[in-house]
């Protein structure tokens, strides 16, 4: 008798689960994520970061739609930031990231603007193109008017299949993993489980960055003026990189036009400024393309000179130093975003 009761209860539970999934899951909606973006959505990681003996405790969040930060209504999103880890700032508390400092400044100046962070680690311009193919198309009522592109660092290399799979394409390579991700993305029950797990049992992560002294030994900073005046021999590899960059920009230009989006480019520098010739050439190409296509551009490589210990590795800024970028960019944002 008890066995029958247990059996019937299991059957009822199973049927209720199936009914709930069909009714409340995302299986049959045309804008479901499928197997895309699984490892970029619904994250709440308890993080401890240490930069030169200064400790920061915070939660690294990526919301239902895959953006860094809290949940939002897609119809409210008018400005997004695109880029790689230098824009995502994975190990920096959200309130100290460049975007949130800008948002805070907008608010204090009574400027009705908010920037939403779509950056993910390792993403290049190729990844931005994929985002418009496979990510943003999955978000209902999502029609941004401006896209800020933080470009330069991840555009310095030629395309490789390995990098594409690791950073630019947001789905698993193996079919079994895709099936698992498809289930996780669309299951109502799993989404409720994930919400509870994120709230009460967040994953613990940490980062310790102690390499400042080593990074800045024999420090040689090259500012824009010095880089501009250097006599250069352009390698064949650099020529291919610049051609690749232009081709990707042309693809993105068509996407922006069809979606009625205004792009704004921000160039980048490394810890030693523009010591890297390829980074200098990439920035110059971005400026040329922007001028030819009437795209607003913030020439950060010309506007700012970084100092020792502004970076904790060759490309990532330390939390106390990002304010310098924020103050440099703010007046130009006021002019270009209307």
Q: What is the pLDDT along the chain (338 residues), one digit of tens a residue?
A: 677 777 667 777 777 777 777 777 888 887 788 888 988 999 999 999 988 788 899 999 999 999 999 999 999 999 999 999 999 999 999 999 989 999 998 999 898 999 999 999 999 999 999 999 999 999 999 999 999 999 999 999 987 766 666 678 888 888 899 999 998 998 888 898 898 998 888 898 887 775 567 888 888 999 999 999 998 899 999 999 999 999 999 999 999 999 999 999 999 999 999 999 999 999 999 999 999 999 999 999 999 889 888 899 999 998 866 555 555 555 555 556 55
So what's the pLDDT on residue 83? 97
25 and 48 both lie in a single domain: no
Indicate the burial class of 69 (C-beta count within 10 angstroms; 0-12, 13-18, 19 or more): middle
18 and 98 both lie in a single domain: no
102 and 155 both lie in a single domain: yes
The angle that helices 277-293 and 236-259 make with each other, rounded to 10 degrees, is 30
10 and 83 both lie in a single domain: no
14 and 147 both lie in a single domain: no
- Could you count the other beta carbons within 10 Å of the beta carbon of residue 240? 12
55 and 10 both lie in a single domain: no
186 and 103 both lie in a single domain: yes
Q: What is the DSSP string of 185-216?
A: HH-HHHHHHHHHHHHHSPEEEEEEE--HHHHT
Distance CA 182, CA 207 (A): 30
73 and 182 both lie in a single domain: yes
Would residue 283 be called left, alpha or beta, if left means φ above 0 and alpha means ψ between -120 and 50 degrees?
alpha
186 and 219 both lie in a single domain: yes
Distance CA 192, CA 187 (A): 9
168 and 181 both lie in a single domain: yes
12 and 124 both lie in a single domain: no
User: Burial code of 81-114, b = ≥16 C-beta within 10 A, e = fewer?
Assistant: bbbbbbbbbbbbbbebbbbbbbbebbeeeeeebb
Please report how many Cα atoms fall inside a 13 Å half-sphere around the Cα of residue 292, on the Cβ side. 10
Domain of 4? 1-30
Q: What is the CA radius of gyration of the chain?
A: 22
CATH of the domain at 112: 3.40.50.1110
Distance CA 223, CA 310 (A): 15
Alpha helices in the chain (DSSP H): 2-24, 85-88, 98-108, 125-130, 161-163, 175-186, 188-200, 212-215, 224-229, 236-259, 277-293, 300-303, 322-336
Domain count, the chain: 2
Do β-strands 79-82 and 43-51 pair in parallel, antiparallel, or remain unpaired? Answer: unpaired
No. of H helices and E strands in the chain?
13, 8
Indicate the burial class of 290 (C-beta count within 10 angstroms; 0-12, 13-18, 19 or more): buried
142 and 290 both lie in a single domain: yes
- Could you count the other beta carbons within 10 Å of the beta carbon of residue 219? 11
Q: pTM of whole model > 0.85?
A: yes
Rounded alpha-carbon distances, angstroms, from residue 104 to 20, 31, 75, 95, 326:
41, 32, 21, 9, 10
So what's the pLDDT on residue 172? 85
So what's the pLDDT on residue 30? 72
């Amino acid at each position: 008798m008890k066995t029958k009761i247990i059996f019937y209860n299991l059957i009822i539970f199973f049927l209720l689960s199936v009914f709930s999934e069909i009714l409340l899951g995302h299986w049959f909606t045309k804008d479901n994520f499928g197997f895309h973006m699984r490892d970029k959505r619904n994250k709440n990681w308890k993080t401890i970061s240490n930069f030169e003996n200064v400790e920061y405790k915070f939660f690294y969040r990526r919301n239902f739609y895959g953006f860094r930060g809290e949940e939002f209504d897609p119809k409210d999103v008018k400005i997004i930031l695109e880029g790689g880890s230098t824009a995502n700032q994975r190990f920096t508390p959200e309130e100290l990231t460049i975007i949130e400092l800008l948002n805070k400044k907008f608010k204090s100046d009574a400027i009705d603007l908010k920037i939403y962070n779509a950056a993910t680690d390792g993403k290049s311009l190729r990844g931005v193109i994929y985002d418009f193919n496979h990510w943003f198309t999955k978000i209902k009522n999502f029609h941004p008017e401006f896209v800020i592109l933080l470009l330069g660092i991840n555009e310095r290399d030629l395309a490789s299949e390995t990098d594409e799979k690791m950073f630019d394409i947001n789905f698993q390579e193996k079919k079994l993993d895709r099936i698992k991700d498809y289930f996780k993305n669309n299951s109502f029950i799993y989404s409720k489980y994930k919400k509870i797990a994120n709230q009460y049992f967040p994953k613990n992560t940490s980062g310790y960055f102690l390499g400042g002294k080593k990074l800045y030994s024999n420090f040689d900073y090259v500012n824009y003026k010095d880089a501009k005046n250097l006599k250069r021999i352009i390698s064949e590899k650099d020529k291919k990189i610049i051609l690749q960059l232009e081709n990707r920009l042309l693809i993105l230009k068509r996407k922006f036009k069809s979606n009625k989006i205004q792009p704004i480019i921000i160039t980048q520098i490394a810890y030693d400024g523009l010591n890297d010739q390829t980074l200098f050439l990439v920035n110059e190409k971005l400026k040329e393309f922007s001028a030819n296509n009437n795209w607003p551009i913030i020439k950060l490589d010309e506007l700012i000179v970084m100092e020792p210990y502004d970076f904790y590795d060759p490309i990532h800024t330390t939390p106390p130093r990002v304010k310098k970028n924020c103050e440099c960019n703010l007046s130009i944002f006021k002019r270009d975003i209307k």
